[in-house]
Amino acid sequence: MDFRKKFVVTPGRRIRLKDFDAGYHGEHETEAEAQQDIERYKTKLEEMQRLFYGDRSRALLIVLQGIDGAGKDGTCWHVVGAMNPQGVQVTGFKQPTPEESAHDFLWRVHPHAPAKGEVAVFNRSHYEDVLVVRVHKLVPKPMWKKRYDLINEFEQLLHSENNTTIIKFFLSISKDEQLARFKQRLDDPQRQWKISETDYTERSRWNDYEEAFEDALSKCSKKHAPWYVIPSNHKWFRNLAVSQIIADTMEDMHLQLPKPTVDLAQIRKLYDADAKAASKRSKASKSAQR
């Protein structure tokens, strides 16, 4: 199944998140059944990123958004972790610092955009400025309403000026699944550090966030920068879908390793001479030991 076609937000289409099944898991019933496909796409992702790093004609930006507990960190760990960290940078955009707040909302984002040959992952992103800012009324409505166009222009700039492919994932979970994950954090000592009071207080704003996400997805899904709504109640399916979409998108780039910049015949001559000298030294060492 082509998850890109199934989960993409069609540009120009108005969506309702209630129409999406956060518990969808495709043809597999369990993680065990899906494990072979999960490993296959993680391997493909590793191979594609190696080509991407060598090709250096494109940049790739991956945006992760979702309600608290949706699995943004888990996606970084299980999917992005399949890539070579030498060519990947993950940035999490938290509450702006005083210096960042004194500039336009995209000022702090642009320096983290990927260079050619690199993959950048935004764990939360510039979309926070039409999500939490909107829900909490941190700026006047006329100001955040203008930001959809500014975001589209920013992403168009990255695409047209630096050949950046942009893939955006909204990790969709149900309200009940969110509560279950918060319970896991409470019960598991390894996860308790992630607990915050806002995890629970923000639940009262679920409908406000849903409406804000719907506007962002509907207004900012473009052919060159599509949004995908990923069913994420099942973490294993989330990982499978995201890894497939990224790997298939990179495969469609028709990446190629660069041609050698040196005379290979000359390098081979130098190697052969070095290898012969090393062989003579080894034989001489063995004879001396006898």
* 117 in the same domain as 20: yes
What pLDDT is stored for residue 37 in this prediction? 96
CA pair distance 1, 130, nearest whole angstrom: 32
* 287 in the same domain as 210: no
Going by the DSSP 8-state scheme, the letter that residue 121 receives in this structure is E
Bridge partners (DSSP) of residue 88 are 119
* 168 in the same domain as 287: no
Q: State residue 24 phi and psi, 5-degree precision.
A: -60, 140
Q: In the sheet that 227-231 helps form, which strands lie side by side, from edge to edge?
A: 88-92, 119-123, 59-66, 164-172, 227-231
Q: What is the mean pLDDT of each run of 10 residues along the chain (290 residues)?
A: 96 95 96 96 94 95 96 94 92 94 97 97 97 96 98 98 98 97 90 83 95 98 98 97 97 89 87 86 74
What pLDDT is stored for residue 290 in this prediction? 65
* 284 in the same domain as 241: no
* 247 in the same domain as 268: no
What pLDDT is stored for residue 123 in this prediction? 96
* 287 in the same domain as 167: no
Q: Match 């495969």 to its residue by tokens.
A: 251
What pLDDT is stored for residue 195 in this prediction? 81
Name the burial class of residue 138, with classes exposed (0-12), middle (13-18) and buried (19+) by CB atoms within 10 angstroms of its CB: middle
Q: pTM of this prediction?
A: 0.91
What pLDDT is stored for residue 260 in this prediction? 84
Q: State residue 225 phi and psi, 5-degree precision.
A: -150, 70
Q: Provide the number of structural domains found in the chain.
A: 2
Structural domain boundaries, residue 274:
263-290
Q: How many CB atoms lie within 10 A of CB 135?
A: 18
Instruction: Write the CATH number for 21.
Output: 3.40.50.300
* 216 in the same domain as 124: yes
Contact at 8 Å (CB) between 232 and 180? no
Name the burial class of residue 166, with classes exposed (0-12), middle (13-18) and buried (19+) by CB atoms within 10 angstroms of its CB: buried
- Which token pair is 202? 């923000």
